[in-house]
Chain A
Amino acid sequence: MTKLLQDIKLIGDEIPWLKDFRQKGKDEFISQGIPTAKTEAWKYTKPNRFLANDFSFCPQGSKDISPYSIEVPFKACQIYFENGIFSHHDELPEGIEVLPLIEVIMFHHDLRDKIGALAEIKAHPFAALNSAYLNEGVYIHISANVTTPIVFVNHITPQPNGNMYNLRNLVVVDDNSSAEVVEYYCYEGDIKSSYLVNVVNEIYIGCGAALKHYKVQDEAFKAGHIALNSVKIKADGLYQSFCLQKGADLSRNETKVVLAEEGATTEVNAAYMMNGWATIDTTTDIEHLKPFTKSLQLVKGVIGGQAKGVFQGKIHIAPQAVKTEGYQLHKAMLLSDEAEVDVKPELEIFADDVKCSHGSASGELDQEQLFYMQSRGVGKDKAKQILIDAYLNDVIAKIDNENIRLWVKSFIGEHD
């Protein structure tokens, strides 16, 4: 087996619940193995190619409090991780509680049931791997209408050996509460450094509650980033997400939303852009379990070089989930002849009286538009950039918070 699983002693192994949880993850990962082209859910993304590099878990990083924080151009409350290890957080506004996950496991036994209840490890080898190393991450508890965005930063300063960082977060939004959470993955140092970030977020949204979840994945050029967001929404709750993936050699952002009660709504939007030989995967799985639930998805990508974009989008409507609406649209722009996009939409509709649609389109940069701009003096590269920005504009516009929207826009930089 790969170095991804090591026999090392982790903090908290003496706690039976935790030891058992980790062991189940380990067993599950061993039985599933690293997905290959034959694994249906991973057939386009093929992580085994990337994982041939072999990453090893870094058990005891420095626990020193990092003096750093990342500048963001808006007022925010930051939760800061350095190399996958929780460092510190800013002073918290009313209605937010943040605890290291390990503390929750040790002292808040009532919350243990929430860990692992949403993120299925059966069909998710990386979630299983994440469970095997369950240790780092935070519990975020929202109990009011919080207006200051919470920015969760994982800042990597790459080490020479290929490290793996497992992060596990639990977010609970109480009934009638709301917040905005931004996840930001970034690095400092050699752009060619290779490491693997493996994140699992389990998110519980109460009745009439709302969570807006934004994410920017800007990892180093040869890094891997795999994320599973598992969300459950109660009656009239809202989960709205936007994810920009632009870094890493192999990246997957998977979002599974269960619309568990009537009136639950979700919006899962994403943009991706890459060059070189990268593979960027956006996978969604929306389950409508009850009537009057609604889901909307818009995913747009820009693919250059010999890179590959993957979109797998599933909408499942249970037999009793009448009067539901589920919409999905994916669009990709291919900037070169060798760029590739693989799309797999799946609609499973078992109820009558529903409104559902899905669509996918891919195209190239419009040469007429490009020439038109050049003929007015705009340089070719600049014109391309303007057209790419314009292409992604409608999906970025889905970010309600203007400050966050402008910040996300600033990541859409030079492309060829």
Chain B
Amino acid sequence: MATPLLEIEDLYAGVDGKEIIKGFNLTINAGEIHALMGPNGAGKSTLSNILCGKPGYHVTSGRILFKGQDLLKFSAEDRAREGLFLSMQYPVEIPGVSITSFLKHAVNAVRQYKGEDELDTMEFIKILRQEGKKLGLDADMIKRDVNVGFSGGEKKRLETLQMSILKPTLAILDEADSGLDIDALRVVAEGVNALHTNDNALLVITHYQRLLNYIVPDFVHIYADGKIVKTGGKELAMELEQKGYAEFVKERND
């Protein structure tokens, strides 16, 4: 059997000296879509930040393997270059840096890492425009500064555009549906689905079942108090929507 894309084993981790993740286990194989659902404050964002190497977070014990390699040994930029992507819940605005120039730096940094030739500007702009168009981001939009003055929906589209340009092996979507109206949600979900192949995987972190109508998971995990308390198929999300989280958190306590 092929090496899983991601293996998290008995992870204990947190931020600012506070333990938030307590005994977390998860394995994701190529071709799979996993959904991680949990109430506010369960530590969902802590998990995605740790995976992507955000400063300030610590790992106490356990291990994380990405394509069989110790993920924690890589810098944040090398994780991205290795094929990890985080679509952020709150993408930051970067005034003075255009989307085009930022993404060109990003794409070429990844290509250089892989020993590939850098793209020239014309070639890159052509690809960016094509991909942007699919997500309803026109050429004028792409000329603007990164996320500056973007609505919640536009920011999420831009995250998806970055994903389509960088073509990650494992993409984590952190609350990709927050701030989206139904049309924007559909566009983002279609964009994400179009990128999904047998060679890559998705981890969708969400509060609500809504997004999972569009990005259909193979596995649904319920996350509470720092660990996965229940795993099931896509029907588990429906069940959760009806019963609420309290039911599952209680179940575990009993």
A-side residues, CB < 8 A to B, are 366-369, 371-380, 382-383, 386-387, 389-391, 393-394
Q: Which residues of A contact B113 (CB under 8 A)?
A: 377
Complex alpha-carbon distance, A31 and B105, angstroms: 57
B-side residues, CB < 8 A to A, are 52-55, 75-77, 79-81, 85-86, 88, 91-92, 94-97, 101-103, 105-107, 109-110, 113, 162, 166
* Residue in B54, B96, B105 whose beta carbon sits within 8 Å of that of A378 in the complex: B105
* Residue in B96, B102, B162 whose beta carbon sits within 8 Å of that of A393 in the complex: B96
Complex alpha-carbon distance, A258 and B95, angstroms: 35
Given A386-B97, A390-B97, A391-B96, residue A379 in contact with residue B77 (CB < 8 A): yes
Q: Is B109 a contact partner of A382 (Cβ separation < 8 A)?
A: yes
Q: Is B97 a contact partner of A375 (Cβ separation < 8 A)?
A: no
Q: Considering the complex, give the chain A residue whose CB is closest to the CB of B98.
A: A390
Given A377-B106, A377-B109, A378-B109, residue A371 in contact with residue B76 (CB < 8 A): yes
Q: Which of A371, A375, A389 has the most CB of B within 10 A?
A: A375
Complex alpha-carbon distance, A375 and B79, angstroms: 8
A387 to chain B, nearest CB (A): 7
Q: Is B55 a contact partner of A380 (Cβ separation < 8 A)?
A: no
Q: Is B166 a contact partner of A377 (Cβ separation < 8 A)?
A: yes
Besides A373-B94, A374-B53, A391-B96, 16 new A-B residue pairs in contact (Cβ under 8 A), listed by A number: A369-B92, A371-B55, A372-B94, A373-B106, A375-B77, A376-B85, A376-B102, A376-B106, A377-B107, A377-B113, A377-B166, A378-B106, A378-B109, A379-B77, A380-B77, A386-B105
Complex alpha-carbon distance, A369 and B88, angstroms: 12
Classify the interface of chain A: helix, strand, loop or mixed: helix
Q: Which residues of A contact B92 (CB under 8 A)?
A: 366, 368-369, 372
A343 to chain B, nearest CB (A): 22
B78 to chain A, nearest CB (A): 8
Q: Considering the complex, give the chain A residue whose CB is closest to the CB of B97.
A: A390
State the total of A-B contacts with C-beta under 8 angstroms. 74
Q: Is B94 a contact partner of A378 (Cβ separation < 8 A)?
A: no
B136 to chain A, nearest CB (A): 21
A-B contact pairs, 13 of them (CB 8 A): A369-B92, A374-B77, A375-B53, A375-B76, A375-B86, A376-B106, A376-B166, A378-B105, A378-B106, A379-B77, A380-B75, A382-B105, A387-B97
B3 to chain A, nearest CB (A): 22
Q: Is B96 a contact partner of A394 (Cβ separation < 8 A)?
A: yes
Q: Considering the complex, give the chain B residue whose CB is closest to the CB of A385.
A: B105
Complex alpha-carbon distance, A393 and B162, angstroms: 24
Q: Is B54 a contact partner of A371 (Cβ separation < 8 A)?
A: yes
Q: Is A373 a contact partner of B96 (Cβ separation < 8 A)?
A: no
Q: Considering the complex, give the chain B residue whose CB is closest to the CB of A389.
A: B96
Q: Is B162 a contact partner of A376 (Cβ separation < 8 A)?
A: yes
A371 to chain B, nearest CB (A): 5
Q: Is B86 a contact partner of A373 (Cβ separation < 8 A)?
A: no
Q: Considering the complex, give the chain A residue whose CB is closest to the CB of B110.
A: A377
Q: Which of B77, B80, B101 has the most CB of A within 10 A?
A: B77
Q: Is B80 a contact partner of A377 (Cβ separation < 8 A)?
A: yes
Q: Which residues of A contact B55 (CB under 8 A)?
A: 367, 371
Q: Considering the complex, give the chain B residue whose CB is closest to the CB of A368.
A: B92
* Residue in A366, A371, A379, A386 whose beta carbon sits within 8 Å of that of B102 in the complex: A386
Q: Considering the complex, give the chain A residue whose CB is closest to the CB of B79.
A: A375
Q: Which residues of A contact B162 (CB under 8 A)?
A: 376
Q: Which residues of B contact A379 (CB under 8 A)?
A: 77, 109
Q: Is B80 a contact partner of A387 (Cβ separation < 8 A)?
A: no
Q: Which residues of B contact A374 (CB under 8 A)?
A: 53, 75-77, 80
Q: Is A390 a contact partner of B94 (Cβ separation < 8 A)?
A: yes
* Residue in B53, B54, B80, B101 whose beta carbon sits within 8 Å of that of A376 in the complex: B80
Q: Considering the complex, give the chain B residue whose CB is closest to the CB of A377.
A: B80
Q: Which residues of B contact A368 (CB under 8 A)?
A: 92
Q: Considering the complex, give the chain A residue whose CB is closest to the CB of B162.
A: A376
Complex alpha-carbon distance, A65 and B166, angstroms: 56
Q: Which residues of B contact A390 (CB under 8 A)?
A: 94-97
A386 to chain B, nearest CB (A): 6
Q: Is A375 a contact partner of B80 (Cβ separation < 8 A)?
A: yes
Q: Considering the complex, give the chain A residue whose CB is closest to the CB of B145.
A: A390
Q: Which residues of A contact B76 (CB under 8 A)?
A: 371, 374-375, 380
Q: Which residues of B contact A382 (CB under 8 A)?
A: 105, 109
B158 to chain A, nearest CB (A): 11
B195 to chain A, nearest CB (A): 16
Complex alpha-carbon distance, A390 and B79, angstroms: 25
CB-based closest 3 A-B pairs:
A390-B96, A377-B80, A376-B106
